[in-house]
A and B are shown apart, each in its own frame.
Chain A
Amino acid sequence: MSAAYEVAARVRDPELPVLTLADLGVLRDVTESGGRVSVTITPTYSGCPALDEMGADLRRSLLEAGFAEVEVRTSLSPAWTTDWISEDGLRKLREAGIAPPSRLGPRVAGPVPLNLVPPPRRVSCPRCGSARTAELSRFGSTACKALRRCADCDEPFEHVKEI
């Protein structure tokens, strides 16, 4: 693993600062030659305002680490999925009181299925571990999170929704 990759991998997500960009799975590629670094990241959502911050943070961190020139590229395809969040990332989310997404697995070919009721997901409360939780709102404080509540400890909590 190159020195440039290690610097880039440590940069934190501006909206979920418990995760590094490597944990989040948005860091697609880091190449370096002769002090010139090229980093490729992928957006989580089309309108995600954090993408520019990520680019700026990557540039700053790599310049501070002594690399002479930094180029940040965006890759739209393949599209990001929460399955790219690392195991370490899932654990850090849980420890921060945010329920991590469950794994979706490979996408099934054919038309996207319609969900007339929210799909039943077993989302455990990140505070008390209870499985008795319910979705309050599919849309939370950021595009990537839903809001849920635990029926046992009564606490609301955020859930990184599967995409």
Chain B
Amino acid sequence: MSAYDGLVDQEDAHWAFGTGFSEPLTGVDRELPEGVDRADLSAYCLMLGDDALVLAQRLAEWTSRAPELEEDVALANIALDLLGQARMLLTRAGEAEGAGRDEDALAFLREEREFRNVHLAEIECGPFAGGDFATTVARLLVFSSWKLAQYSRLRGGADPVLAAVAEKGVKELAYHRDHAAQWVVRLGDGTEESHRRMAAGLARVWPHLEELFTAHPVELRLAGVAVDPAELRSEVDGVLDAVLAAARLERPVDVPPAARVGGRAGRDGVHTEVMGYLLAEMQHLHRSLPGARW
């Protein structure tokens, strides 16, 4: 049976993720670690799952619109890796919550205020208004450098599922980061025009860096399971500085962090204006045709 047969296989074919996927943690050791608050673990898995899910959705917008065919395939492949991570993380979030919500219920039936992703994942960086390919590459570099630092530490965490997802994810994020870094160097150290657009892309994403290193109370309460994002800053800074130096780009300076609303941002369910549009596109089919299959 070919992979194509899997796409049209009626048996167990739930349309949500496009193929006859079964539940992604089937047969994985699912014990909840002792002494860990279920609600906190669920909230933390949602944060990580939503980061991956929302960026996968944004990257998928490039399909058929990238500057070259190879890049179409690259961005779609990166999105697929992130979607795979999101499926496992959302499944784990539902399981820890214990209210019977599966990955689809969490992806498609939550309201905007219930999403816990950082703003960097959701902002428009192209192909539509708000950016271009260079901006998307800038976002991917920052996101994957940060996420790689986070997952590297999660590998040793007390939740066996999170640790295993992170162990696998590290390998994937490492080549996502390399791919983005190589583009930043090519564009930054390229023509006058590509340099200008790469610098503009960095300026676009830079206000959203601060949120990446700002801990949510859940992350601090889950010591041993979660990673305090403040710990990631120096590693991420080091990577970004190395890439920017090779790309002959200046690190944006005097960039005020994006505004928070009463101190709250993505981790608290407070999102930017584009989030509603993103969710409308991602969720409308599932909501219009509940239980639809293809």
Interface residues of A (CB under 8 A from B): 14-15, 40, 43, 45-50, 52-53, 55-57, 71-81, 111-112, 114-118, 136-141, 143, 147, 163
B28 interface hit (Cβ, 8 Å): yes
Query: Nearest Cβ in chain B — how far from A79, in angstroms?
Result: 4
A50–B5 Cα distance when bound, in Å, is: 11
A140–B2 Cα distance when bound, in Å, is: 17
B165 near A46 with CB under 8 A, answer yes
B85 near A76 with CB under 8 A, answer no
B84 interface hit (Cβ, 8 Å): yes
B26 near A79 with CB under 8 A, answer no
User: What residues on B are CB-neighbors of A71 within 8 Å?
Assistant: 27
B264 interface hit (Cβ, 8 Å): no
Query: Nearest Cβ in chain A — how far from B129, in angstroms?
Result: 26
B283 interface hit (Cβ, 8 Å): no
Which residues, 141 to 195 on B, are CB-close (under 8 Å) to A?
Answer: 148-149, 152, 160-161, 163-165, 167-172, 174-175, 177-179, 181-182, 185
New A-B contacts (8) at CB < 8 Å, excluding given A79-B167, A116-B178, A136-B70:
A14-B6, A47-B81, A73-B27, A73-B28, A76-B161, A76-B168, A112-B170, A116-B185
B3 near A47 with CB under 8 A, answer no
A78–B69 Cα distance when bound, in Å, is: 34
B21 near A116 with CB under 8 A, answer no
Q: Which of B203-211, B219-227, B235-243 contacts A (4 or more CB under 8 A)?
A: B235-243
User: What residues on B are CB-neighbors of A137 within 8 Å?
Assistant: 70, 73-74
B1 interface hit (Cβ, 8 Å): yes
A116 near B181 with CB under 8 A, answer yes
Closest residue on chain B to residue A136 by CB atoms? B70
A118–B73 Cα distance when bound, in Å, is: 18
**Selected contact of A52 from candidates B2, B19, B28, B83, CB within 8 Å:** B19
Closest residue on chain B to residue A47 by CB atoms? B84
A114 near B84 with CB under 8 A, answer no
B200 interface hit (Cβ, 8 Å): no
User: What residues on A are CB-neighbors of B259 within 8 Å?
Assistant: none
Most chain B Cβ neighbours within 10 Å, of A72, A76, A136, A137: A76
A52 near B21 with CB under 8 A, answer yes
User: What residues on B are CB-neighbors of A43 within 8 Å?
Assistant: 84, 168
A71–B22 Cα distance when bound, in Å, is: 13
B2 near A14 with CB under 8 A, answer yes
Q: How large is the interface on B (under 10, 10 to 19, 20 to 34, 35 or more residues)?
A: 35 or more
User: What residues on A are CB-neighbors of B174 within 8 Å?
Assistant: 112
B165 near A76 with CB under 8 A, answer yes
A47–B60 Cα distance when bound, in Å, is: 14
A139 near B85 with CB under 8 A, answer no
B167 near A114 with CB under 8 A, answer no
Given contacts A45-B81, A52-B19, A53-B6, contact A112 B243 (CB under 8 A): no
A114–B239 Cα distance when bound, in Å, is: 7
A163 near B171 with CB under 8 A, answer yes
A48–B19 Cα distance when bound, in Å, is: 11
Given contacts A52-B20, A114-B177, contact A147 B70 (CB under 8 A): yes
Most chain B Cβ neighbours within 10 Å, of A46, A49, A114: A46
User: What residues on A are CB-neighbors of B20 within 8 Å?
Assistant: 52
A115 near B73 with CB under 8 A, answer no
Proximity bits, B1-45, A CB within 8 Å = 1, else 0: 111011000000000000111100111100000000000000000
A78–B80 Cα distance when bound, in Å, is: 21
User: What residues on A are CB-neighbors of B165 within 8 Å?
Assistant: 46, 76
A72 near B84 with CB under 8 A, answer no
B88 interface hit (Cβ, 8 Å): yes
User: What residues on B are CB-neighbors of A49 within 8 Å?
Assistant: 3, 6, 19, 21, 80
Proximity bits, B215-258, A CB within 8 Å = 1, else 0: 00000000000000000000100010011001000000000000
A79 near B6 with CB under 8 A, answer no
Closest residue on chain A to residue B235 by CB atoms? A111
Which residues, 72 to 127 on B, are CB-close (under 8 Å) to A?
Answer: 73-74, 77-78, 80-85, 87-88
User: What residues on B are CB-neighbors of A141 within 8 Å?
Assistant: 73
A47 near B2 with CB under 8 A, answer no
User: What residues on A are CB-neighbors of B179 within 8 Å?
Assistant: 138-139
A5–B227 Cα distance when bound, in Å, is: 40
A72–B25 Cα distance when bound, in Å, is: 11
